[in-house]
Structure 1
């Protein structure tokens, strides 16, 4: 688990090619399968495959139920995808080929664009992102390798 003053990230090696992992990440309807926070619900709206500028929405529950809209703000086919909602922080996945048919997947919660990132890093809600990222990566690995996210 890597952490600097403005982001939290973790990585896992998945026994699958980058394009197979990216297909999962670029399909917003599959995001509930790998959600590590337990806040993401069904009700996904948007395109079947995300690209730069794509907008997609989802139902969430963090105490209260609400709906959030996201925009893809970083995109490199089979290598990197990131989105944000109304705030400046981003959720990013980076894929790196490893060996013949494996992929190192790094998920990052990046809050470097927040006006006062030092304060954000101490908010308990954001501090829990470490556990959520680790859980999401375990679920992603399980789903891509076996078809079962282990929920």
Structure 2
């Protein structure tokens, strides 16, 4: 990994409230996951708030595992972000624009734990592709 902050945006043809409802419900993350790693919600169903925790069953490189994340940024219908024990942060910002809502997704690895290990495991192009696919999935979901 050479970069530490990845970000991309798309205009989604829906109101911020509709998009935020999907993003704030971890059970629905599988609907839009662009990484292909999310398998199912294990714990934490319902609308998240600041401080909420949820556990997702994941699978990468053929290995199943669980990740518990905590909501660390929250502004209803505008911003939601969560991180897990490594402290990389996944963030979605929503801004009303003509034709819908500009959704900006970012993966922030600037303050991670174990940077040397994580930097070897995570590839820039995989994160960029994952974000692009997630945003494209959001557009399709609301089109």
**Normalization by structure 2: what TM-score?**
0.89
1:142/1:44 CA distance change after superposition, 3 Å: farther
Aligned with 1:15 (options 13, 35, 44): 13
Q: How does 1:95-134 map to 2 (within 5 A)?
A: 95-99=94-98, 102-114=100-112, 123=120, 125-127=122-124, 128-134=126-132
Give the alignment's Cα RMSD to 1 decimal: 2.0
Partner of 1:136: 134
What runs of 5+ residues in structure 1 fail to find an aligned partner? 146-151
Using the TM superposition, give the Cα deviation of residue 126 of structure 1 relative to its aligned residue in structure 2, in angstroms.
Answer: 3.8
SS in structure 2 of the partner of residue 24 of structure 1: helix
Aligned with 1:32 (options 27, 30, 33): 30
Partner of 1:89: 88
Higher normalized strand content (fraction of residues): 2
In 2: Cα distance, 1:109 partner to 1:14 partner:
19
Using the TM superposition, give the Cα deviation of residue 113 of structure 1 relative to its aligned residue in structure 2, in angstroms.
Answer: 0.9
In 2: Cα distance, 1:49 partner to 1:28 partner:
8
Partner of 1:78: 77
1:66/1:135 CA distance change after superposition, 3 Å: same
Partner of 1:53: 51
Using the TM superposition, give the Cα deviation of residue 115 of structure 1 relative to its aligned residue in structure 2, in angstroms.
Answer: 5.6
Using the TM superposition, give the Cα deviation of residue 125 of structure 1 relative to its aligned residue in structure 2, in angstroms.
Answer: 1.9
SS in structure 1 of the partner of residue 71 of structure 2: strand
SS in structure 2 of the partner of residue 108 of structure 1: strand
